Structure 1
Amino acid sequence: MTFIDVAFLTSVFVTLFVIVDPPGTIPIFMALTGSMTAKQRSKAAWTATGVGMLIIVIFAVFGQFILGYMHISLSALQVSGGLLLLIISLQLLTGKEDEMAASDGVNVALVPLGTPLLGGPGAIVAVMLFAQQAQGSMPRTIGLVVALLTIAAMMFLFMRFSGVISRILGKGGVTLVTRVAGVLLAAISVQMIADGAQAFLTTWGLIPEA
């Protein structure tokens, strides 16, 4: 019997890497922690990674029960997460990212870094589906756990060493990257809202299934 399902592990890792996009968190992390000390940024990286992974794991284990108990559909989760990301993207585009940052570096690590950027609707939905596929299979379960731990490590490392990139780019470069990140984040949020709306319309029978 195979100890670990490598193919399943690879599938989980690639999917979550694309959704969470650790490299893409660098400009946002730099924008939100620009006024912090190195120690505060390190703490924010640890906290954001921990919060993001805690949310993902909770929904992997109890997701179906939680959504079912509260009568919330996955498409509703997508739309609400998309709206929240859209608000964050507008703050980045208008240069108001400092309003989201807390002086002690804790609040910004919880929202928006921990959730919805890391532990967001996309990652939650994906992990819930993978958890269903892994039920009853120990090799797949181990593969899922290893993939989640690997993603967590990458999330932390990309944020933790974002300061090096910040020094290379300089203040003007960070501002430029922040604005670009705002545009990309806005596009991601709109896509999430559109996907959720499409799922709603399909469920109601207003549009045919793809």
Structure 2
Amino acid sequence: MDPPGSIPVFLSLVGRKAPAARNRAARQAVAVSLGVIAGFALAGGAILSYLGIGIPALQGAGGLLLLLIALDLLTGKESAQPQGAEDVNVALVPLGTPLLAGPGAIAATIVYVRDANGQVGSYLALAAAIITIHLVLFLFLRYSGVIIRVLRESGITLLARIAGLLLAAIAVQLVANSVRGFVAGG
């Protein structure tokens, strides 16, 4: 999870919206991320085991989803979304997941829960870390509007293209890690 690194994608997706809509998107995205990470902390290992999904498959799926979003940002096209549902959809996907609560964060959470070995102190430390990172994420996204005043419309367009390029690189890395995981595991 990367609070400063989330700002370019956040601004490219909601930077042209009114401040109230940006704030709502920040709240929703962080709430979705917190829910996803907490859910995987509580039952992630069991969910993946039940579905027969490994961490490499999770990484590959997240990478492909991020690649689709990156292509939209690079080309300047909006994803096909129903009119009026745009704010909610952007906050859920791609902001809440897979950008904030991505495959890496989910996998790390599952591994840390597994490594806690039933020690209450370890579980409490992990819970504190999850809550803290989400508070920091919210603060970064909530106050990213300051950057909009400096960048203006053309700067946001440029930022969207740069964010798309970086997001595409992250997506390719996730897919590469997924392939590497499949090769090493099988």
Q: Same fold by TM-score, threshold 0.5 exceeded?
A: yes
Deviation of 1:86 after TM superposition, in Å, equals 0.5
Name the structure, 1 or 2, with higher relative contact order (CA <8 Å, separation 6+): 2
Aligned to 1:123: 105
For 1:46, the equivalent position in structure 2 comes to 27
User: Compared with structure 1, are the counterparts of its residues 93 and 190 closer, same or farther at alpha carbon in structure 2 (3 Å cutoff)?
Assistant: same
Bigger radius of gyration, 1 or 2? 1
User: Could you list the runs of 4 or more consecutive aligned residues of structure 1 that deviate by over 6 angstroms after TM superposition?
Assistant: none
1:59-138 mapped onto 2 (5 Å cutoff):
59-97=40-78, 103=84, 105-138=87-120
Tell me the number of residue pairs that the alignment of Structure 1 and Structure 2 aligns: 185
- TM-score calculated relative to the size of structure 2: 0.93
Cα distance between partner residues in 2 of 1:194 and 1:87: 16
How far off its partner does 1:35 sit? 3.4
**What does 1:1-210 correspond to in 2, within 5 Å?**
20-97=1-78, 103=84, 105-204=87-186
Contact 1:45 1:156 in 2 (8 A): yes
Question: Contact 2:12/2:163 (CA < 8 Å) preserved in 1?
Answer: no
Q: CA RMSD in A?
A: 1.6
Unaligned runs of 5+ in 1: 1-19, 205-210
TM-score (norm 1): 0.83
Query: Alpha carbons of 1:149 and 1:59: their partners in 2 closer, same or farther (altered >3 Å)?
Result: same
How far off its partner does 1:145 sit?
A: 1.1
Q: In structure 2, how many angstroms separate the alpha carbons of the residues matched to 1:187 and 1:88?
A: 12
Deviation, 1:103, is 3.9
